[in-house]
Chains A and B, each alone.
Chain A
């Protein structure tokens, strides 16, 4: 290839100091041509971000060693001085980061922040820079740019901030844009918009994009070529379609299996396990549908009626109520023993608050919650704690939801002790619980920091199971995990359901997982359920416009279907803040089929 823009040759990075150096990446090589999109894919810790930072020379010099060559546009960047690098960064290579919330300076107006780049690299006057910034804001489709240019980052939503970041990265018309997980922190509908925006701008500018991501769906949507990284090494690189359809690498195959779309014709209404892989990369257990666990005839395990949770927003000075967040509004559903109901929606739609209200972690304003017919809403103190044992929760962040000072044994024994089990019995149950979630019972005396994210989530599940619950609320329980680990945890949850007859309320924004685990799906928007019904019907025959929009925004991990998705219209997610005396309009639900209901449009 003669037309290389960037070539990375045998770049190895190690971190450390003095005598101790720990290799982070080794012999990473790949090329990016002019105007090409190359995706770097891998799980956390695979060295993909470090590679990007080593190209930009943004790693701390004293604690980092870099070997190898980075050629950009015919020049060797590794030989550049810090001053020369500053002329390259932001000028010839632009970069977008993962966290739009923290990558902007909160004390500068966005106009000044973008303008700074132009003043620095193009030597423009501030007045001239301002004109260019306005143009840039219009190009990244920020509405009312004239008015918003003087606003500060906190006035912008996550998606809008990422647009500002893109505008800043594009200000000097770079030849290469490095996008480090630019959409990971965003909701799917927003992610869709940002991906389209990057694609459009890339075509206009003839710019190359290096796209770092862990999401194979995003890769399938955007990349011409793909580099797969694992443990600091490049395991495979090539055309995206070849990687997806002809890869022989066990690791790549495993990554792909975890995002493979379900073939809807083969599966009906029951959850589907992920395929399991042996250490050599061959399939050791095929993807299969679970046996029927739902007990449709008895009383519901959990039934929620007209649940409403609101938070009052108070005036800082006079503590006067100035508004209310209608986080959960009139939510009604029930779950049979052995059934999984998925609650899906975008951030801020109230799905997590619903879960926490059910457990009485936040007090709902009104509504009844029944656990096997017994009302939880009026209980408190010891009675509540006793009843709540059969209702447990698994949280999103396995790192934060375990007390770092407790050994695994302490963490598992504590809920049993609080439930009145004596210490000897409680201790004797620990090995059993650990085996149940696929961990070695000998690990009981270790502390949480000695475990990986997936193992910790297993510990959290074991802890929830220690008091023999019947219903588990899984609040984004697999969202923070890497794709291959995610598949294992989902399989574990499905096996436990089969073995113990558990019911799950599975709260998630990740449609590829929801598609697999649920019997039924409920879609939430602005605190209300807009559509609820069996999985195949809601996902296959969505009736509410919001459900359709949500589903069409999910990237499909299949490069051959690229561009078949309807281009999502521009929209901002509204927030459910209302006046104090706001009365919610009465809602009516239309019955689509036997158990499929959709909110009537008002």
Chain B
């Protein structure tokens, strides 16, 4: 392996994805099962099975939280929420942003208005904007996705617009126009393919930003409802006992930061691969 960090990142993301897809199979317990006799177990402590139906001896791999819920199971189901929201936001933001970007790049009259709106959105800190949205429309999966998408769309618009504006200057575009290629086809077949590489890279950064933003919103109590096991919710609930039982925070924090870090490393790797100039310089 030439790039061990990159390979490791792919492995981590693969594990998280598996956890998200196969949550019920991997999780050893119901993530919302409250067990008063097994509260705040340290990682790798054995579970007191005296009052449980399942008497088999087992370890709480990542310990339990203040209500005795199994942290491993909460992490596995939390991965499902994070990946669901991250991927939905990425897909919606890229599609919507590409459409708006194409419009901005092609029609000068629309460009001024739309880009000023985008500038406005970008001027407000992402977290503030998302909080404003959440308070305005209430919590829930779809509102979280909507709020984060609104934050991320301007980045896609800017990228696509700049690709359209620069590729439009290429002589082969003028050649296509003189050959009678209509505008729609020109955009789709000649201009947009040039944006695929940079968009792929941007998509990974949007994915990691969305996962992080979702966790932040949940931590602040503005994201997913309290009863949904997410990484952000788990961190929020562990906060009060942080001094005594730190694993309540550092385990979900480790999941969150490893995922975000891995996705970013993959994004960097893709950028080097898609940009021939960078690839040869890196050697």
Please report A residues at the B interface, Cβ cutoff 8 Å.
Answer: 356, 359, 361, 382, 385-386, 388-389, 392-393, 395-397, 400-405, 414-415, 418-419, 460, 463-464, 467
Q: Does B193 belong to the interface (CB within 8 Å)?
A: yes
- Chain A residues lying within 8 Å of B190, measured Cβ to Cβ, are 403
- Chain A residues lying within 8 Å of B178, measured Cβ to Cβ, are 359, 361, 388, 392-393
Apart from A395-B174, A397-B171, A460-B175: 18 A-B pairs, beta carbons within 8 A = A356-B174, A385-B180, A388-B178, A389-B180, A395-B171, A395-B175, A401-B172, A401-B174, A401-B175, A403-B172, A403-B176, A404-B172, A414-B176, A414-B181, A414-B189, A418-B179, A418-B182, A418-B185
How far is it, in angstroms, between the C-alpha of A400 and the C-alpha of B190 when the chains are bound?
13
Residue of chain B at shortest CB distance from A394: B175
Let me know if B179 and A464 touch, CB within 8 A: yes
Q: Does B177 belong to the interface (CB within 8 Å)?
A: yes
- Chain A residues lying within 8 Å of B194, measured Cβ to Cβ, are 405
Nearest 7 CB-CB pairings of A with B:
A415-B179, A400-B171, A385-B180, A401-B175, A401-B171, A393-B178, A403-B172
Residue of chain B at shortest CB distance from A415: B179
Let me know if B175 and A418 touch, CB within 8 A: no
Residue of chain A at shortest CB distance from B179: A415
How far is it, in angstroms, between the C-alpha of A341 and the C-alpha of B190 when the chains are bound?
32
- Chain B residues lying within 8 Å of A392, measured Cβ to Cβ, are 178-179
- Chain B residues lying within 8 Å of A414, measured Cβ to Cβ, are 176, 179, 181, 189
Residue of chain B at shortest CB distance from A420: B180
Q: Which of A395, A402, A419 contacts B180 (CB 8 A)?
A: A419
- Chain B residues lying within 8 Å of A397, measured Cβ to Cβ, are 171
Let me know if B177 and A361 touch, CB within 8 A: yes
**How many pairs of residues, A versus B, come closer than 8 Å at their CB atoms?**
55
**Segment 155-213 of B: residues with Cβ below 8 Å from A:** 170-172, 174-182, 185, 189-190, 193-194
Residue of chain A at shortest CB distance from B193: A405
Q: List 21 A-B contacts (CB under 8 A).
A: A356-B174, A386-B180, A388-B178, A388-B180, A395-B175, A396-B171, A400-B170, A401-B174, A402-B175, A403-B172, A403-B176, A414-B176, A414-B179, A414-B181, A414-B189, A415-B179, A418-B181, A419-B180, A463-B175, A463-B179, A467-B179
How far is it, in angstroms, between the C-alpha of A393 and the C-alpha of B189 when the chains are bound?
20
- Chain B residues lying within 8 Å of A396, measured Cβ to Cβ, are 171
Let me know if A393 and B182 touch, CB within 8 A: no
How far is it, in angstroms, between the C-alpha of A581 and the C-alpha of B193 when the chains are bound?
44
Which of A388, A396, A418, A419 gathers most chain B CB within 10 Å?
A418
- Chain B residues lying within 8 Å of A403, measured Cβ to Cβ, are 172, 176, 190
How far is it, in angstroms, between the C-alpha of A401 and the C-alpha of B176 when the chains are bound?
9
Q: Which of B171, B172, B181, B193 contacts A415 (CB 8 A)?
A: B181
Residue of chain A at shortest CB distance from B173: A403
- Chain B residues lying within 8 Å of A419, measured Cβ to Cβ, are 180
How far is it, in angstroms, between the C-alpha of A349 and the C-alpha of B182 when the chains are bound?
31
Let me know if A418 and B193 touch, CB within 8 A: no
Q: In whole Å, how far is B195's beta carbon from the nearest beta carbon of chain A?
A: 12
Let me know if B180 and A418 touch, CB within 8 A: yes
How far is it, in angstroms, between the C-alpha of A418 and the C-alpha of B193 when the chains are bound?
19
How far is it, in angstroms, between the C-alpha of A414 and the C-alpha of B176 when the chains are bound?
9
Q: In whole Å, how far is B182's beta carbon from the nearest beta carbon of chain A?
A: 6
How far is it, in angstroms, between the C-alpha of A404 and the C-alpha of B190 when the chains are bound?
10
Residue of chain B at shortest CB distance from A17: B283
- Chain A residues lying within 8 Å of B180, measured Cβ to Cβ, are 385-386, 388-389, 415, 418-419, 467
Q: Which of A382, A385, A389, A400 contacts B172 (CB 8 A)?
A: A400
How far is it, in angstroms, between the C-alpha of A467 and the C-alpha of B175 when the chains are bound?
14
- Chain A residues lying within 8 Å of B176, measured Cβ to Cβ, are 403, 414
- Chain B residues lying within 8 Å of A463, measured Cβ to Cβ, are 175, 179
Residue of chain B at shortest CB distance from A463: B179
- Chain B residues lying within 8 Å of A359, measured Cβ to Cβ, are 178
Let me know if B174 and A361 touch, CB within 8 A: yes
Residue of chain A at shortest CB distance from B167: A403
Residue of chain B at shortest CB distance from A388: B180
Residue of chain B at shortest CB distance from A398: B171
Q: In whole Å, how far is B192's beta carbon from the nearest beta carbon of chain A?
A: 11
Q: In whole Å, how far is A382's beta carbon from the nearest beta carbon of chain B?
A: 7
Which of A392, A401, A402, A464 gathers most chain B CB within 10 Å?
A401
How far is it, in angstroms, between the C-alpha of A396 and the C-alpha of B172 when the chains are bound?
11
Let me know if A382 and B179 touch, CB within 8 A: no
Q: In whole Å, how far is B131's beta carbon from the nearest beta carbon of chain A?
A: 38
Q: In whole Å, how far is A415's beta carbon from the nearest beta carbon of chain B?
A: 4
How far is it, in angstroms, between the C-alpha of A402 and the C-alpha of B194 when the chains are bound?
14
How far is it, in angstroms, between the C-alpha of A419 and the C-alpha of B185 when the chains are bound?
13
Q: Which of A393, A404, A405 contacts B175 (CB 8 A)?
A: A393
How far is it, in angstroms, between the C-alpha of A395 and the C-alpha of B176 when the chains are bound?
11
How far is it, in angstroms, between the C-alpha of A429 and the C-alpha of B227 when the chains are bound?
66
Residue of chain A at shortest CB distance from B178: A393
- Chain B residues lying within 8 Å of A404, measured Cβ to Cβ, are 172
Q: In whole Å, how far is A459's beta carbon from the nearest beta carbon of chain B?
A: 11
- Chain A residues lying within 8 Å of B193, measured Cβ to Cβ, are 405
Let me know if A382 and B182 touch, CB within 8 A: yes
Which of B174, B175, B176, B189 gathers most chain A CB within 10 Å?
B175
How far is it, in angstroms, between the C-alpha of A400 and the C-alpha of B175 when the chains are bound?
9
How far is it, in angstroms, between the C-alpha of A397 and the C-alpha of B171 when the chains are bound?
8
How far is it, in angstroms, between the C-alpha of A359 and the C-alpha of B175 when the chains are bound?
11
How far is it, in angstroms, between the C-alpha of A359 and the C-alpha of B172 when the chains are bound?
15
Which of B172, B176, B182, B189 gathers most chain A CB within 10 Å?
B172
- Chain B residues lying within 8 Å of A393, measured Cβ to Cβ, are 175, 178
Q: In whole Å, how far is A458's beta carbon from the nearest beta carbon of chain B?
A: 15
Q: In whole Å, how far is B197's beta carbon from the nearest beta carbon of chain A?
A: 11
- Chain B residues lying within 8 Å of A402, measured Cβ to Cβ, are 172, 175
- Chain B residues lying within 8 Å of A467, measured Cβ to Cβ, are 179-180
Q: In whole Å, how far is A292's beta carbon from the nearest beta carbon of chain B?
A: 29
How far is it, in angstroms, between the C-alpha of A32 and the C-alpha of B178 when the chains are bound?
50
Let me know if A385 and B182 touch, CB within 8 A: yes
Residue of chain B at shortest CB distance from A359: B178
How far is it, in angstroms, between the C-alpha of A382 and the C-alpha of B170 when the chains are bound?
23
Q: In whole Å, how far is B247's beta carbon from the nearest beta carbon of chain A?
A: 51
Residue of chain A at shortest CB distance from B186: A418
- Chain A residues lying within 8 Å of B189, measured Cβ to Cβ, are 414
- Chain B residues lying within 8 Å of A401, measured Cβ to Cβ, are 171-172, 174-175
How far is it, in angstroms, between the C-alpha of A361 and the C-alpha of B175 when the chains are bound?
10
Which of B172, B179, B190 gathers most chain A CB within 10 Å?
B179
Q: In whole Å, how far is B46's beta carbon from the nearest beta carbon of chain A?
A: 58
How far is it, in angstroms, between the C-alpha of A397 and the C-alpha of B174 when the chains are bound?
12
- Chain B residues lying within 8 Å of A361, measured Cβ to Cβ, are 174, 177-178
Q: In whole Å, how far is B202's beta carbon from the nearest beta carbon of chain A?
A: 20
How far is it, in angstroms, between the C-alpha of A388 and the C-alpha of B190 when the chains are bound?
20
- Chain A residues lying within 8 Å of B172, measured Cβ to Cβ, are 400-404
How far is it, in angstroms, between the C-alpha of A186 and the C-alpha of B178 when the chains are bound?
28
How far is it, in angstroms, between the C-alpha of A151 and the C-alpha of B182 when the chains are bound?
46
